Chains A and B, each alone.
Chain A
């Protein structure tokens, strides 16, 4: 963290309340996000325990698995999850706007513009924490290779229809969530942590309840005290008053409350299976429903506080005005969503278990440039972020004290005005180092020429002044102007192209296999 961020944390310690780390909102927030709060079973991979899901803060949908080790019940949960999530996702696929994309003409091999569809908006998933986002990936991985009875009548344990499709979507969202600055899959802790500094360590900030307490303390209490309460306070039965944001549950909850409830459910089910006559079966069925209802109530008690905390986070973030370049990043997210929509519609197989060499290299390159772009855009959008860059010598705010016109020495001279600027910042300038400023949202570049004796710097303006001999109106700063220059570029250049996956050289494993991956083998062991 930069020194400015550290300072903000220290100020938060002193004041007892979180301090701003940003003056604008740096992530896109949908008007109608889908919040998903999952819970998982301790010690099992991909055995969900329950979830709250929905787009209405007042009316979450509770999904629960009364016996998480039962495959049938797990499938039932996943089918319900698909039922809750897929209609939301599909609500966005048909509303499109025309857009242009460059593509390679297969016959001529030339780059041409083609008209394509771009979804007008994209669905947004919000989970409580980083672990929750990882769980979305895990759920996606556990579902996308499943086969339904329709796909493969021979499959021994067919998954309910649409479960594999949900798996592909969750995989896509999980992958996209790893791209810096993307907003298809957001986590509440990262949203809060990006915009506020608390008086605790970033490790402790992983606890959504404590983090939120710092940012939004109840009236009459300091954030520090509220955070401590959220972290540690237990009731008379030893249960946390603010349950963890999941997906892992508190061991005390597992051992004292959940395990007996699951056991009761198991017993009721066994008795029902052994029921001798119809009357007894009716009674036992009632008991089974009662046991299931008890598990659901328990899970709701763990999920609801987190659900409310996520929505509170969304509310807090909505109070911040979005940064100017947030919408541009969201457009990239819309492209990502549209791309996956098209792959699903084209009947492509699910994402492979491991990326082939070219896809992996592309993903890495895309994430690297997204990271650089995010850093540049956040600084340009937000003076507080820019302050961090200025402190690091990567940007400087300067006042123009003199403008001297100059031209290139060519047949058609172009303007290359010299600006003398004064700054209190300490940028890492050296001869011919390029600096950039934002002119009507576009970067204008200049190069450093020299320092004058009084410490002011001379810059030579290089572009965006039009084609004429005289620079275009407003393209050259005037004396007295205050301008923030950056040493980093505002827009990212894309790196060297990569070959198509089919042309992967043998050094990198050769072309990827094209046959669809086989589903995970299902064994009796699957029933744990």
Chain B
């Protein structure tokens, strides 16, 4: 039953992993074909076990997301779709004359364009491999229009269809990627070129498997990107070096063998069978595989909205971006960070906690000073939210120590000095910048940890 009637190659030897993945997918569901775009996206977030497993098992993530009540909202405008097709057809018309000319072929009309039609994906890949071998042996310019390549990912074959592959007389194979975004004055949108390069790198990788078995063949590590020129429909081309994308993709795809481990770690009975499971069971099943949500997922993964809501429910700081995580040390939840910043929790010796307290103190001080300036001394309301009762708790711990020895820990110390009976001069330095401070003791109103009551008295 795991030998799927659709798409999957029945003659391939069955592995236990494939059986396991097919069981995860559900007996009735055909594997959702992976394309180069999906592979490139997988490589962009290699730490995401959820995506690795769902993609590896060929589960339709868009349908899964809809079933979970968090539809992806992906879609392509038919205007873009039509334009893309019209442009590709134009580039390839007349046996690819225009395409070969862009590649710098002196006499494009003499190029061979073999017929690659064959029944079924296996037939087409075999036909493509044969055509590649023949073209390499013939030593003539050959254009392969929509060849089909196979790449083994996580134990199952993925069929990839580049726009075109050109074989040169020297046996070099070049991937051609035709895109409909414009190249204006010789440059195109960097983000779109990057995406195209990542996608092309997957094709190069797939071609390399075939080239290894073909005598005299070599796959070019730069691809030909064909785009409309300026505002017209005329094609223009640029050679894009994809070596970097290639090594990244190669490394990430090698890591997807982990799919076996991820699947093995699943509890018994977990299945993603869309036809048979209730949304609740599906949600449970999805929860069983950890995700690595980052906001970047929103543009590349169908399940992103679901993972985002889970990340937000879990109070995870990653929901605000990967970079946010970097400066927060070991603190992983919003609550923990804010508690640490307010002195309610966390080890003051931890540099991340110390920096947070300092930041919170400076922020509260500045906001209080500013609102004092605009509202005429009404400094406290803004500072209040960050001014929990925890400040009192923190004061003894920080304040009983040597107040002057730890200038980095700004949170507790000034408050302790202020609320204590220390000399007033000692409490003032560093508080309230500029003219906003107001006269006399006013700056201390804005001091970040004046224990609430001190501030109330001043007001």
Contact A10 B320 (CB under 8 A): yes
CB of A1 within 8 Å of the partner chain: yes
Q: With A11-B386, A353-B185 as known contacts, state yes or no: A390 contacts B362, CB within 8 Å.
A: yes
Contact B429 A7 (CB under 8 A): no
Find B77's partner among A14, A249, A384, A521 (CB 8 Å cutoff). Answer: A249
Contact A254 B78 (CB under 8 A): yes
Distance in Å from the Cβ of A122 to the closest Cβ of chain B?
A: 27
* Residues on A with beta carbons closer than 8 Å to the beta carbon of B184: 45, 138, 141
Q: For chain B residues 376-397, which have a beta carbon within 8 Å of chain A?
A: 382, 385-386
Distance in Å from the Cβ of B299 to the closest Cβ of chain A?
A: 8
Q: For chain A residues 22-59, which have a beta carbon within 8 Å of chain B?
A: 23-24, 41-46
CB of B56 within 8 Å of the partner chain: no
Size category of the B interface is 35 or more
Q: In the complex, how many residues of chain A place their beta carbon closer than 8 angstroms to a beta carbon of chain B?
A: 73
* Residues on B with beta carbons closer than 8 Å to the beta carbon of A414: none
Contact A14 B334 (CB under 8 A): yes
Contact B81 A43 (CB under 8 A): yes
Contact B338 A11 (CB under 8 A): yes
CB of B404 within 8 Å of the partner chain: yes
Q: With A46-B231, A383-B436, A387-B366 as known contacts, state yes or no: A396 contacts B430, CB within 8 Å.
A: yes
Contact B370 A23 (CB under 8 A): yes
Q: For chain A residues 323-348, which have a beta carbon within 8 Å of chain B?
A: none
* Residues on B with beta carbons closer than 8 Å to the beta carbon of A203: 295-296, 298-299, 321
Distance in Å from the Cβ of A230 to the closest Cβ of chain B?
A: 13
Contact B82 A399 (CB under 8 A): no
Judged by DSSP, the binding face of B is helix
Find B433's partner among A1, A42, A68, A482 (CB 8 Å cutoff). Answer: A482
Of the listed stretches B46-54, B117-125, B406-414, chain A binds: B406-414
CB of A494 within 8 Å of the partner chain: no
Contact B355 A391 (CB under 8 A): yes
CB of A202 within 8 Å of the partner chain: yes
Contact B231 A482 (CB under 8 A): no
Contact A391 B358 (CB under 8 A): yes
Chain A residues packing against B (C-beta within 8 Å): 1-4, 6-11, 13-15, 20, 23-24, 41-46, 68, 138, 141-142, 199-204, 232, 249, 251-252, 254-255, 258-259, 321, 353-354, 382-384, 386-388, 390-391, 396-399, 401, 421-426, 454-455, 480, 482, 484, 520-521, 523, 525-526, 528
Excluding A43-B77, A142-B231, 8 further A-B contacts by CB distance (< 8 Å) are: A2-B359, A3-B327, A45-B182, A46-B182, A68-B79, A383-B434, A397-B431, A521-B232
A-B contact pairs, 15 of them (CB 8 A): A3-B355, A23-B366, A24-B370, A44-B83, A251-B75, A259-B79, A384-B366, A384-B367, A387-B363, A387-B366, A399-B428, A399-B430, A401-B425, A401-B429, A425-B410
Chain B residues packing against A (C-beta within 8 Å): 73, 75-84, 86, 180-182, 184-186, 228, 230-234, 295-296, 298-299, 305, 315, 317, 319-321, 323-324, 327-328, 334-335, 337-338, 341, 355-356, 358-360, 362-363, 365-367, 369-371, 373-374, 382, 385-386, 404, 407-408, 410, 413-414, 425, 428-434, 436-437, 443
